[in-house]
Every structure is written in structure tokens, then in C-alpha cells.
Amino acid sequence: KGLWGRPIEGLVAVVDYDERKLVELIDTGPVPIPAGGPAVNPDQPDVMPAQGPAQRRFRIQGQWIEWDKWRFHLRIDPRVGPVLSQVSILDGDRRRSVMYQGSISEMFVPYMDPGDTWYYRTYLDVGEYGVGSGGVPLRRGRDCPEDAALVDAAFVDEGGTISTKTGIACIFERTTGDAAWSHYEVRQGASLARRHTELVARFIVWLGNYDYVIDWIFTETGSLKGRVGATGIVQVKGVASKDMAAKSAANDTAYGRLIAPGTVAVNHDHFFGFRLDLDVDGTNNGMLIDRVRKVDLDKSGPDKTGRDSPRKQIWQVFPHKAKVESEAKLNVDPRQPALWRVINPAVSNGVGNPVSYQLRPGMTGMTLLDDAEPAHRRAAFTAYNLWVTPYQPAERYAAGTYPNRHPGGAGLPEWTASDRSITDTDIVLWYTIGLHHVVRAEDWPIMPLVESEFELRPFDFFDANPTATEGLRSTDR
């Protein structure tokens, strides 16, 4: 049934690792060991039979991958996991740069139980454990489609020993079943549409009880998505309560939910911090914040023609180019909407607008912890959904290079303290996906995959929809 479902609660050894001495043995008293969840059958048949391998449209040459108009380099880093480099897209006969490098930078999973045996469970998975080194071999037909290409990766450990992990990542093309775009022409009685096809580079990491599926997704319309899915076994504690009618239930569930007899899943957060070094048509980039705001109309109207309008209010877009780092510490606020774009002011599209790529946020749960909270100080990058910094080669990890031995404040807070310029230079975006996990009964004994993503999409980068003249399909009505 697995060790994660049957914790021995209330027993912790505090060890001074430097002195190699036992400092304290915490024993809060006996608690019944939960029975654990029902056994998971790894040989349970799939609902749908595997379809045969399809003809691949992508090409792998060493570490380089080409598909449709995209070209990129993929490697597996022992610390941050899958890293995309030199991502470019073909526009006519011109290959144009989009992103120099993109990867996860840090992950933060703090549990919300202040007890002696739980308060320290505030994991910085990238800096403390390593995502790439925890990669697992992938299986066609289960972790990836039957026709996926499996990718090996070489690692060098702390002692200089080289090892190879086979099938640690997979590459595959899929048709989503959705339309990339669609339009019905009533006069012609015909429907024009294009199916949505994408390329996926997938990596799965095992980190204790949790498993994470990391996908980089390329689309034919020029978008690039980063997606993380959480699955595995939720971390639980043993309690006396067998059900919510027990006298001890209120106390036992103060910091979590009873999901099985004698088993409480503790509330926690998941934060996935990404480092996105965009190079939109080169490195001469800037951060543009398009603020969408309500406008109260006067009789002159917004076009200043003097024409009176029956409308009293509209909204308009007010662009603001961030000059320094403090102007680009941003949070998603539905009451004050904005578009976040990396622009190249030196390159224009066909109608004269500067080319850009827009970051479209996904799950944007914010930390609820104050700056004074020790756990938050170690992962202060979670204070904002987005940070923007000028490129510096040594600035790679959002919580700093050595977060396991740092009291807090390293990484992004330290780097941005000098409020450097981010105007017309090589800039890096640091975007964090966040979610608060209140565990439900259906997350036990193994948690269904929960996915969160963001999108980098072209915004005035092309002169038109890059697929609008390709693959038209007409269906008479």
C-alpha cells in the first residue's frame, strides 16, 4: 500500500548534521497508524486500447528538435530538469528568435501545520533535491503516447561519475480534437477550419510522495506553453479520528482534512517558479504593460470629434513601458486587468507595431504568508506572480543558489534591490504558477493529475495568423 499512506505520527529526530549528534528526540505520544489507502493496481488495463504509431512530423538530431516551423534545443539539467534553449520559429524564409532559454527555476511546497513534527515541511524541491536528478523512465502507452520518441540524458554526479538515464523524456505530436480556428460562411454554406495540432516535450519527476509532469507545448499558431501537473500521493498524518463524528475530529482536522479513517491530509501550497529568458527577434527587449482601464466619456468622445455618443463608458488600453525592476513586480488583479508583453522596439510588423510575445498567466494563487514568516523568507519569489530582471548569467535560481543553507531573502529579492534598468536590453521573466491545495477524498489513495499552465503567445510578432492560409478545410452545409 506504500509507505506514504501509513505515517508514524509524532516521532521526529532533530540531528545536528555538522556535529553528527542527536540534539533531540520529539515524541508527542502514540497515534494509531492509518490503515493506508487501497492498493493501486499498476496492471489495470487502460480504458482505451493503444492506437498504432503514427508517422512523425518532428525530427530529432542530437539535442535539437524540429517540428512544423519550430526549432529548439532540449537538455535535462540535474537541478532544474528540462531546459529549452535557442527557441526559434520560421516566418517565411526567415528564422526568428523567441526565447534563449526557459525552465523551471524553483518549486516551493509549504505545509500549513505548525506542530513540532510538521512546521519544517517547507520544501524547495529544485534547490534542495533537484528536479532533473529525480526524473523517472517514461513508458509508451502510459506516461506518453505509443508513438512518442523517448530521449536519454547523461548526468554527472557530485563525485564526477557519469551516468545515463534512458527514456527520461519523451517527444510526441498530438491532435487535441479542438479547432485551431473555425468560421462558418453563411452565404457559401461552408465551414472553414483547421484542427489544433501541437508538439509536446514531456518530463516526469519523482519527489518523495509527489510526482510532477512537466510539459513544454508548441503550437502551429506560434504559441509556447509551460504546463505542470501534480499527481502521486498526498502527504498525510495519522490521527485518532476515524470519522468526522469523533470527539477529536475538530482538533485533528484543524490544519487539514480527514480523507480516510485515521488519516488527515495537511493543507499546503504548490508554487512553480519559471525562468523565461525571452529574446524576441534578438536581445533588444523591454517590458510593456498594457493596462486596460475604464474611461468615462465626455461629450467630445474619445476620438475628439465632438460627436456626442449614447455610450457613457468604454475601456481603453494604456501602455506603460517598465523602466526599472520595481515597475515590473506584478500580480494578476482581475479588477485592474493588464497584458504583459516582451517587446522589441527596434523591430516592427507590417503595420508598424513593435513585435512582441505576451505572457498569459494561468493558475495565479498568491502566497498568504507575511514577509515575517520564516518559510516565506526562504521562498520570497512567491511574493509576486511576475518579476523582470536584466539578464545576468549567474542569476538562475529564484530562491538563490543555496536555499537549503540560507536564512532567506536570496535570489530575486536580493537581485532586484538595486532596481536595475530593464529598458531596451536583454531581460528575463520570472513567472510563478501558484495553487492552494485543500485535499479532497478523491485525491486518495493516489491523486488524479491536476494541471496548471501559462502561455507565451505571439502578439504583433507576425503580420497575420501564421496558419490562416494553410490547411483550409471546407465542409458544405
Neighbours of 219 (CB within 10 A): 20
Active site residue 215: no
Neighbours of 174 (CB within 10 A): 15
Q: How do 59-61 and 286-296 pair as beta strands?
A: unpaired
Q: What does the block give as the cell for 113?
A: 501545520
Contact 148, 140 (CB under 8 A): yes
Q: Give the pLDDT score at 192.
A: 85
Q: What does the block give as the cell for 2?
A: 506504500
Active site residue 157: no
Architecture of domain 3-41+60-476: Distorted Sandwich (2.70)
Q: Give the pLDDT score at 34.
A: 83
Q: 190 in the Ramachandran plot: left (φ > 0), alpha (ψ -120 to 50) or beta?
A: beta
Q: Give the pLDDT score at 473.
A: 42
Name residues whose C-beta falls within 8 Å of residue 113's C-beta, 6 or more positions apart in sequence.
119, 121, 237, 255, 256, 266, 267
Q: What does the block give as the cell for 411?
A: 535570489
Distance CA 362, CA 366 (A): 12
Peptide bond into 403 cis (omega under 30): no
Q: What does the block give as the cell for 17?
A: 548534521
Nearest to 152 by CA among 136, 138, 168: 168
Neighbours of 147 (CB within 10 A): 17
Question: pTM for the complete prediction?
Answer: 0.92
Active-site annotation holder among 68, 125, 277, 460: 125
- Indicate the DSSP class of residue 143: T
Distance CA 155, CA 75 (A): 11
Nearest to 288 by CA among 315, 311, 317, 260: 317
Active-site annotation holder among 210, 357, 384, 397: 210
Nearest to 67 by CA among 176, 201, 179, 169: 201
Instruction: Give the angle subtended at the CA of 157 by the CAs of 152 and 160, to the nearest 5°.
Output: 110
pLDDT in tens, the chain (477 residues): 566 678 888 888 999 988 999 999 988 888 888 887 666 555 544 444 444 455 789 999 999 999 999 999 999 999 999 999 999 999 999 999 999 999 999 999 999 999 999 999 999 999 999 999 999 999 999 999 999 999 999 999 888 999 999 999 999 999 999 999 999 888 888 888 889 999 999 999 999 999 999 999 999 999 999 999 999 999 999 999 999 999 999 999 999 999 999 999 999 999 999 999 999 999 999 999 999 999 998 756 666 655 677 888 999 999 999 999 999 999 999 999 999 999 999 999 999 999 999 999 998 999 999 999 999 999 999 999 999 999 999 999 999 999 988 888 999 999 999 999 999 999 999 999 999 999 999 999 999 999 999 999 999 999 999 998 654 443 432
Distance CA 67, CA 60 (A): 9
